């Protein structure tokens, strides 16, 4: 019987790798890094065979010539290795990944894309680096489009999480499956709406997103310069609300936001919260445990970590179950 044994939501930032020594708020940075270590230990204790790794892509695996809303890696998975994150082939649970891709199309009405040679970037490899360090697990990578509008709605993401949960639990094999949602919380990246770039920097970024499939490294020096020049735009109150929902088993309430409202209140980078929402839906929105929240302006991001552990979740009342399923 296949089980879902743990869920983890965690922010990511390559600036954590490249600008650690320049980070002014070292105490906050260390608390966040320690929380990643606690989550890693929780994953180790859960003994997963496979991790469904849900993340975004920052135009190093997908480009404007083709961006599906959801893509499952079903065979090769290659990490791009930018900014000190892991590089090269990652182990994939091909059997479960192919099963999920087929089941979602044939039984759940989700026409997800699949890739037999998926390139991931720090949207997922940051989690490989810190949350799966030293763990012998296979991956089922799931990439969600969170940066090139039109984005999949938050409600659709929540529905997909439920559908994947049903498919995993019906898998005829025998797996212990953990789930990681990598991204968020509030942050605003100096990225344009690709449909309407304004100014030299934005036109450069859109050009990189359109033409970078074979040569993304050629664009990265200036990309990094543009990102480093950006001013932080965080919303700790919003982040606290999201984490409180996680703790109360109410992560489904993220669907109360439209895509436009989410960007307005928490920045374009907060669209990555789709990964947390999917993860929580896969865990049936059980109450979670916050391990850390640290606003990190040096990394342009609200950095949070939460764990959803079915073995420690309190029983839900019928009213709570009805609320999250409505």
Q: Which residues are catalytic?
A: 122, 187
∠ CA 277-241-33 to the nearest 5 degrees? 75
What single string gives the DSSP state of each residue in 56-69?
Answer: ---SSS-BTTB--S
Alpha carbons 152 and 197: distance in angstroms, whole number: 21
Q: In which residue are the tokens 């983890």 written?
A: 8
H-assigned helices in 114-153: 122-131
Structure tokens given for 187 = 């942050």
Tokens of 299: 């990394």
Please choose, from the candidates 152, 158, 123, the residue with its C-alpha nearest in 3D space to the C-alpha of residue 283. 158
Element (H, E) at 134: none
Strands (E), the chain: 3-10, 50-55, 70-80, 87-89, 113-120, 138-144, 176-182, 289-296, 301-308
Contacts for 12 with CB less than 8 Å, ≥ 6 apart: 55, 122, 123, 126, 127, 182, 183
- Residue pair 25/301 in contact by the 8 Å Cβ criterion: no
């Amino acid at each position: 019987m296949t089980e879902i044994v743990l869920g983890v939501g965690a922010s990511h930032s390559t600036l954590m790798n490249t600008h650690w020594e320049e980070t002014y708020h070292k105490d906050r940075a260390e608390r966040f890094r320690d929380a990643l270590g606690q989550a890693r230990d929780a994953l180790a204790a859960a003994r997963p065979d496979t991790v469904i790794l849900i993340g975004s892509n920052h135009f190093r695996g997908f480009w404007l010539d083709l961006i599906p809303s959801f893509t499952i890696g079903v065979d090769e998975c290659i990490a791009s290795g930018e900014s000190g994150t892991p590089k090269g082939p990652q182990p994939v649970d091909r059997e479960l990944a192919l099963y999920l891709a087929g089941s979602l199309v044939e039984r759940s009405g989700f026409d997800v894309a699949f890739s037999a040679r998926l390139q991931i970037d720090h949207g997922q490899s940051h989690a490989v680096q810190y949350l799966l360090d030293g763990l012998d697990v296979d991956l089922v990578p799931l990439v969600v489009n969170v940066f090139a509008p039109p984005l999949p709605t938050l409600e659709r993401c929540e529905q997909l999480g439920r559908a994947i949960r049903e498919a995993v639990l019906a898998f005829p094999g025998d797996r212990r499956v953990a789930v990681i949602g990598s991204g968020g919380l509030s942050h605003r990246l100096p990225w344009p709406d690709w449909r309407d770039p304004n100014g030299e920097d934005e036109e450069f970024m859109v050009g990189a997103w359109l033409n970078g499939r074979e040569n993304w490294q050629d664009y990265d020096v200036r990309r990094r310069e543009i990102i480093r020049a950006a001013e932080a735009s965080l919303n700790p109150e919003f982040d606290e609300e999201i984490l409180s929902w996680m703790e109360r088993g109410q992560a489904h309430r993220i669907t109360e936001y439209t895509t436009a409202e989410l960007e307005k209140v928490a920045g374009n980078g907060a669209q990555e919260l789709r990964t947390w929402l999917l993860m929580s839906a896969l865990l049936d929105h059980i109450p979670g445990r916050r391990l850390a929240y640290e606003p990190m302006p040096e990394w342009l991001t609200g950095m949070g970590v939460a764990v959803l552990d079915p073995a420690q979740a309190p029983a839900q009342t019928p009213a709570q179950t009805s609320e999250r399923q409505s």
